[in-house]
Amino acid sequence: MEEIAANDYNLNISRCISTALSEPQVNLDATHGESVDIEKVVAKATSKHNEFLKNLTYLHCHTTTLIRKKSKTTERIPP
């Protein structure tokens, strides 16, 4: 009765019963571990991708040089 009086006799259900849903507990250690693992995978993929790009650049430069030598021209061949 004291609680009802303290709430100015307001008998709304929300005063008596919480309707809010509780949020799930997050295991921060596990989540951090997953993030670290994902970062490692991304770093490895980025490194492999950069290696491909380096090889493509080498092949492009090498091919352009061969074309220039064959044509015996000094004009720039666009990439």
Predicted local distance difference test score (pLDDT) of residue 72: 58
Predicted local distance difference test score (pLDDT) of residue 36: 97
Residues of the chain with pLDDT under 70: 13-16, 58-60, 62-79
CB atoms within 10 A of CB 68: 14
Predicted local distance difference test score (pLDDT) of residue 32: 97
* CA–CA distance, 40 with 57 (Å, rounded to integer): 26
Selection from 77, 51, 46, 49 nearest residue 62 by Cα: 77
Predicted local distance difference test score (pLDDT) of residue 55: 80
Predicted local distance difference test score (pLDDT) of residue 38: 96
Q: Does residue 59 contact residue 67 with C-beta atoms inside 8 Å?
A: no
Predicted local distance difference test score (pLDDT) of residue 52: 87
